[in-house]
Structures are given as C-alpha cells and as structure tokens.
Amino acid sequence: AQKVTQAQTEISVVEKEDVTLDCVYETRDTTYYLFWYKQPPSGELVFLIRRNSFDEQNEISGRYSWNFQKSTSSFNFTITASQVVDSAVYFCALSRAEYGNKLVFGAGTILRVKS
C-alpha cells in the first residue's frame, strides 16, 4: 500500500522567511513518482514538481527547492523568501510508475504567509 504523510498541519511564517514543508512516503514499489501540488483558495490544484524514484538530485526552481532522500523516504519542499502569494495548501503525492497520474495525496499543509 502507498501512503504519504505530511506531519505539519499548518505553518505560519512572516514574509521573507524561509519555510520547509515535510513529506514522508511509504511504498513497496521500486519505481514510483513523487509530486508537490499547490492549492490556492480558488481551489484548483497547481502542479509544482514531479520526481521519479531514480532521480535523487535536488531541484531548484526560483524560490522553490526540493530535497529528495530515498534513505529516509522523504521529499521535502522549501520556499525561500516566502511571499504572501505563497499562502495556500500544499500537497505531497505519490504514484506508481505505471499509473503515474493516479495520485495518493498526503493530508496537506496549510501555509500562511503574513506580511
């Protein structure tokens, strides 16, 4: 069975602070995919990143960075110099390789960035 745990229910930071959202996953598959999605108040899920299990390189995209560590089954997401527009619910998700878009989501982390 696949499972994603986001232990942080809610995080509040002040603008310009860095913040890390934790994600721990469980799977018996050797090939799998990990995702992060952002859900702003408008409701739609916005794709942020996809990482396959064979690629442990960390990734940076602007103020966003992701740290994938297979040894600890973690796929953490850091926002540098947070902004009010980053306020949203962030979901980490996992999928099997052959059904890559059938996503198992974590419970989500509410991020509140205050000015």
Partner 1 sequence: DAMVIQNPRYQVTQFGKPVTLSCSQTLNHNVMYWYQQKSSQAPKLLFHYYDKDFNNEADTPDNFQSRRPNTSFCFLDIRSPGLGDAAMYLCATSRDLGANTEAFFGQGTRLTVV
Longest dimension (CA), the chain: 43
HSE toward the beta carbon, residue 91, CA cutoff 13 A = 17
Cβ closest to partner 1, residue 3 vs residue 16: 3
| H-helix or E-strand spanning residue 29 | none
Tokens standing for residue 109: 């982390």
By CB under 8 A, residue 97 contacts partner 1: yes
By CB under 8 A, residue 57 contacts partner 1: no
By CB under 8 A, residue 85 contacts partner 1: no
Q: Contact positions toward partner 1, by CB under 8 A? A: 4, 33, 37, 42-47, 50, 52, 91, 95, 97-108
